[in-house]
Structure 1
Amino acid sequence: MLDIEVIEDPAAAEASLDPIRTRILQELAEPGSATQLSVKVGLPRQKVNYHLKALERHGLVRLVEERRKGNVTERVLQATAASYLISPVALASVAPDPHRFSDRFSAFWLLALAGRMVQEMGKLIAGAAAARQKLATFAIDGEITFRTAADRAAFAEELAVAVTHLVDKYHDGGPGAGRKHRLVVALHPVLKAPAVPKDTPQTPLT
């Protein structure tokens, strides 16, 4: 089972977005049968089987084993991944294209870059899994608080200079150069936590 599977097929994306099938995929993080799932999701076994066949047809669940119980064969299935992410490829005709614009201060360009990253990483993960090789990646995630907009702008400028210096230092553009890597650096505001209504009772400390 993959940690994350990137869905590229539009039909598979549509199947995964159905609320019942999403719940089934969640439950199938551990192997289970239609009978077991029917209890967990509160649907008749026949209905669960219908959804399982759709998910299996689109490669989102796989057969783990078959158990013979009298005259009945029970199929045990498992989700192909713990989590799923829909690639922009699934909406190819309207997917954002980073090459349309390249304004480093544009939130839309940042989204286009993020979409391309999902698309490329999905293909790379699938290729590495098929070849049974480890995929070399690196990421940093953190938060920083700026006192003023001017401080934020100064930080962005210094970051750009530092990254450019590192690229100039390590980039090898000569003949027979090694494997190309993509570098994306992003900075955006953190989402604010939803406000708690004043009349909401607070949990007492114990």
Structure 2
Amino acid sequence: MRLLSRWQNSAGERVRIALRLKGLQFDYVPVSSLAPGDYKALNPQGLLPALDVGGRIVAQSPAILEYLEEVYPEPSLLPSDTIIRAEARAFAAHITSEMHAITVQRVRRFLEADLAVDQTGIDRWVQHWLGLGFAALEETLRRRVVNWPFCFGDEPGWVDLHLVPQMGNARRLGCDLSSYPLLGSIEQRCSRLDAFRLSRPEAQPDFPHGQAPA
């Protein structure tokens, strides 16, 4: 398998973590190493990441994660209990559906270039929506039936691999995350594990020299 992505792509980071949590071998291919137009030819959506499975391209990180879970079910990234599994999927979906696009560079560029929103306004917009999202996630964790060391279990999985990259994105964009102690404690536990540490932006071969980590 080849994972086509770039260092600063939180959706790609999710997939990198999932591949490593499952112990799967893959080749990381920075899109910057491709000739102009080659990636769009592979993935008409043009969005990152994409997984190349023997020449077949799977786009969109949710679809990639579902593919990995179906084809490589052990170890599972999802809880075994059906209700907790649904809660885990809902938590991750809140990140992918409600929060992720706020941090996407092309979305913020549109605000500036097409709608003439200045940087102060963009920052306020980002911090408002991400703040609402993180507050909801923090409260969700507070209401768990068990105070697990990771989001929904004794081992990291589906939810944690969504949460950690999103927190990194938010921090890079100037968000204060000190109001979310449960989220922060889980992020700290995850950061000590190789699957997360090796998937961080600064650990990727295309990470620009001299760039401050996200």
Same fold (TM over 0.5): no
Q: Which has the higher strand share?
A: 1
Q: Which has the higher helix share?
A: 2
The structure with more radius of gyration: 1
Q: Give the TM-score taking structure 1 as reference length.
A: 0.28
Q: Give the TM-score taking structure 2 as reference length.
A: 0.27
